[in-house]
A = this chain, B = another copy of it.
């Protein structure tokens, strides 16, 4: 048995490759620019399987519950397409089609026998970021030292999904440490964007971005402590939900810096539509996660909150704020255009959309960075040192073993600063509302300063991480694609600072041509019902949303 980390990692990688049946393997890979469409022409999926994987989760669960589709057929289709996704983007950490198909068979038999589904996700495959534990499988999270340790218990979310009838079949790639927004680790290497191998799939839920982006998954589960759901959603033209802490269950997931509660990591879905996102959230909430995970607020899905927004949509009376620049880093031209596009569409539809002054975002971003590095990288480097594997280059920006550590009193001071800042932000919202005499329904903003980024170029997390500091609900909505013909370089650019200069310097209209661009829609804590309804309307106005 190998003992050096490289051999251990290589064995693990080979073992995962070997889980792909021979008949689903590709002999030759497609050209770089036809990866996304390759599953259609690969010959590995039947026409029915292609139709299944290109359907919506909402339609699939309806047909599964009615017995019009079997879970075995749906699971087979997604397992096949996931196998292609892995060969095309390198997105697997664990793949277990046999377990999935056995589960699907059980569900089909249950339905036949009981004439009713197990739950609202009956028979539907769900893909999981490799932090979610499944009893009997491994969770490496990309750490070589974690290889070979089988989980002895399910995460609470696993239990909720199984109770709701889901089929689990794959756990997907993350960057070493989870603390960066690209996806690379020393076991599996790099995961690439299914739209272009030169672009990142985002991170840390990058494997979910890639697999759902190429429809090897229909609903993916990610986590987000500084953009890790929203960035891969944005880079793969998907919807992504960062719920507020306490809405969805995180208990018993693996994590970096476990027990760190100053800025909570949260879990949420990446989907092709808000309808599918709502299906996921309502299905999990229907299982009463607060009876299992003490951090979950006992708050069922609030139809009446959704209805408030639907009424405002009907009467064209949404009131929204927006900003394009957070005061630290100016986004690239495609992102500025995306924000403006959303503003224009909402305005044209009759809604009120007003400039929002982002309140002390650079302060929040600095606070987040201090929290991420508060243990001086001790936790992450302990996981690395246990095998001797080196740190991936991206980590050095955020956590490294030379950082000073906080003591407990310093951490409390940061926590007090966070609470004060959050409450000041609420004051700014109340003042804004008092001035305009109306409720502010949401804020539209960039989620990254770039379209789907070139490898090793992700430097600025602030558009995402300021929202994590606020613990606001945020939904990413795909908007458009970079276009070299219109998104020309910002020639008169004067940098706000060094980070701004570096980020803007990365823009290259040719290299980013066709890269996905998104915005995020932000609301106060625990406003998932409202923000998802607004995101749905924005998607509808953009023509990117399936109308429910």
Residues of A within 8 A of B (CB): 156, 246, 251-252, 257-262, 290-295, 297-299, 374-375, 378-379, 405-409, 411-417, 419, 422-423, 425-427, 429-430, 470-471, 524-527
Contacts and interface: CB of A to CB of B under 8 A. Distances in A.
A117 to B, nearest CB: 22
B298 A375 contact: no
A290 B525 contact: yes
A510 B524 CA distance: 57
Given A261-B262, A416-B259, A430-B292, A409 B297 contact: no
Contacts of A406: 408
B470 A422 contact: no
Given A291-B426, A407-B407, A419 B259 contact: yes
Contacts of A426: 291-294
Contact of A423 (B293, B429, B524): B293
Copies of the chain in the assembly: 2
A244 to B, nearest CB: 9
A278 B425 CA distance: 30
B527 A298 contact: yes
A294 B416 CA distance: 12
A27 to B, nearest CB: 47
Contacts of A429: 291
Contact of A412 (B260, B293, B409): B260
A294 B425 contact: yes
Contacts of A291: 426, 429-430, 524
Contact of A411 (B290, B408, B430, B471): B408
Contacts of A293: 423, 426
B524 A416 contact: no
> Top 4 closest A-B pairs, CB basis?
A259-B412, A294-B422, A259-B416, A259-B415
A180 B262 CA distance: 26
Contact of A375 (B409, B423, B430, B526): B409
A294 B470 contact: yes
A294 B423 contact: yes
B408 A374 contact: yes
Contacts of A156: 423
Task: Determine which residue in A258, A259, A298 has the highest number of CB atoms from chain B within 10 A of its CB, and name it.
Answer: A259
Given A261-B261, A299-B299, A407-B407, A294 B412 contact: no
A142 to B, nearest CB: 20
A298 B526 contact: yes
B251 A524 contact: no
Contacts of A427: 292
Contacts of A413: 259
A259 to B, nearest CB: 3
